[in-house]
Amino acid sequence: MRQFEYKRAEDARAAVAAHAGNDAAAYLAGGTTLIDLVKLDVMQPERLVDVNRLALDAIEPADNGGLRIGATVRNTALAHDKRVRRDYRVLSEALLQGASRQLRNRATTAGNVMQRVRCSYFRDGISPCNKREPGTGCSAIEGRNREVFAVLGTSEHCIAVHPSDMCVAMAAIGATVRVEDAEGSREIDFADFHKLPGDTPHIEHELAGDELITHVTLDAPVADAGSTYIKLRDRSSYQFALASCAAIVSLDGDRIREARIALGGVGTKPWRCLDAEQALVGQPAVDETFEAAAAAAMRDATPYKHNAFKIPLARKAIVCALRDAAARAGNGA
């Protein structure tokens, strides 16, 4: 049995202080990723700093016209918040399609942003895996690489998908992550927070040292937009995405004024499709337009032995999501 120290912090400063000076310390939020991985011996923290009592559980209006979400806001609370359901329907839908009700009741906003990959070779604790043990190789590239393996943003060192649904919606909305350590605080653009694997797949995000996530601030909602989250998976609940799409669309008459597209289940990070979005502006909101955008979004995809089906599947998710979001924009929904 591995020993670890447990410390419960009462405020952010105390949490950072309790984390400091130990490279093997980890913040403990809902525990739904962390405790799993400790039990599997994939993560071996020497010290757990419990952040559940920090006063970071509020959802408040932000100065930018968006919403400021505390790090410990539970996924269920965020999904059902009235302002989120009204102005960020895509986020509410993404959250409610993630995991199970019990898990969502426990899982936090920061923990979700920081969740680890579901790659079976990473999680088995013994297979060669550059993410778990840098330099050992990637078992998935020549192995079984169907469900939780990417076709966008992969490298010869790692092809694991970023598994979060919530983060896909946040990528489409646009957001900023606020982090704090003993030196002060800083803000990280959500688009830059998660890193591509490149040749350092063990470095997954921008967080450094003892930094604690305190908030995620959503950009102001797109005016008069409709939005939706489409998640395609092997089973309709309690399952990670094979391909998913968060779409936000606003219209001028029957033409597209603004569009946002982000993908899940196919990228090594929450995958924003800026080129496809640009191509939609000014075009009629019809299936031919959505299909062209979907083709553009998946143009650079690289399939592996068992996941080539994800490319047409993701295209379908994009078309369906754009169609639904445009219909909702037209209805003022």
Ligand X SMILES: Cc1cc2nc3c(=O)[nH]c(=O)nc-3n(C[C@H](O)[C@H](O)[C@H](O)COP(=O)(O)OP(=O)(O)OC[C@H]3O[C@@H](n4cnc5c(N)ncnc54)[C@H](O)[C@@H]3O)c2cc1C
Strand 255-264 with 271-272, pairing? antiparallel
Angle of the 310-331 helix axis to the 287-297 helix axis, nearest 10: 140
Task: Provide, rounded to whole angstroms, the least separation between the CB of residue 30 and ligand X.
Answer: 3
Q: Does 229 bind ligand X (CB under 6 A)?
A: no
Task: Provide, rounded to whole angstroms, the least separation between the CB of residue 75 and ligand X.
Answer: 6
Task: Provide, rounded to whole angstroms, the least separation between the CB of residue 278 and ligand X.
Answer: 28
Instruction: Indicate the residue among 76 and 302 with the shorter CB distance to ligand X.
Output: 76
- Residues in 270-299 at the binding interface with ligand X, rule: CB under 6 A: none
Instruction: Indicate the residue among 170 and 222 with the shorter CB distance to ligand X.
Output: 170
In terms of residues, how long is the chain? 333
Distance CA 230, CA 242 (A): 11
Q: Which H or E run contains 324?
A: helix 310-331
Instruction: Indicate the residue among 28 and 294 with the shorter CB distance to ligand X.
Output: 28
- Residues in 16-55 at the binding interface with ligand X, rule: CB under 6 A: 26-34, 36, 51
Instruction: Indicate the residue among 94 and 280 with the shorter CB distance to ligand X.
Output: 94
Q: Does 107 bind ligand X (CB under 6 A)?
A: yes
Task: Provide, rounded to whole angstroms, the least separation between the CB of residue 121 and ligand X.
Answer: 18
**x/- site string to ligand X, residues 171 to 190, per CB under 6 A?**
--------------------
Instruction: Indicate the residue among 35 and 333 with the shorter CB distance to ligand X.
Output: 35
How many CB atoms lie under 10 A from the CB of residue 178? 16
Task: Provide, rounded to whole angstroms, the least separation between the CB of residue 174 and ligand X.
Answer: 19
The answer to whether the CB of 229 falls within 8 A of the CB of 245 is yes
Task: Provide, rounded to whole angstroms, the least separation between the CB of residue 42 and ligand X.
Answer: 11
- Which of 92, 115, 127, 145 binds ligand X (CB under 6 A)? It is 115
Residues with Cβ within 8 Å of residue 315, at least 6 apart in sequence: 291, 294, 295, 297, 298
Distance CA 197, CA 160 (A): 9
Backbone phi, then psi, for 229, in 5-degree steps? -130, 120
**x/- site string to ligand X, residues 197 to 226, per CB under 6 A?**
---------------xx-------------
**196 exposed, middle or buried (CB, 10 Å; 0-12, 13-18, 19+)?**
middle
Strand 212-218 with 184-189, pairing? unpaired
The answer to whether the CB of 221 falls within 8 A of the CB of 71 is no
The answer to whether the CB of 54 falls within 8 A of the CB of 9 is yes
Q: Does 125 bind ligand X (CB under 6 A)?
A: no
Number of residues that bind ligand X (CB under 6 A): 30
Closest Cα to residue 225, out of 256, 249, 260?
Answer: 249
**x/- site string to ligand X, residues 71 to 100, per CB under 6 A?**
x--------------------------xx-
| Residue ranges that bind ligand X, judged by CB under 6 A | 26-34, 36, 51, 71, 98-99, 103, 106-108, 110-112, 114-115, 163-166, 212-213, 240
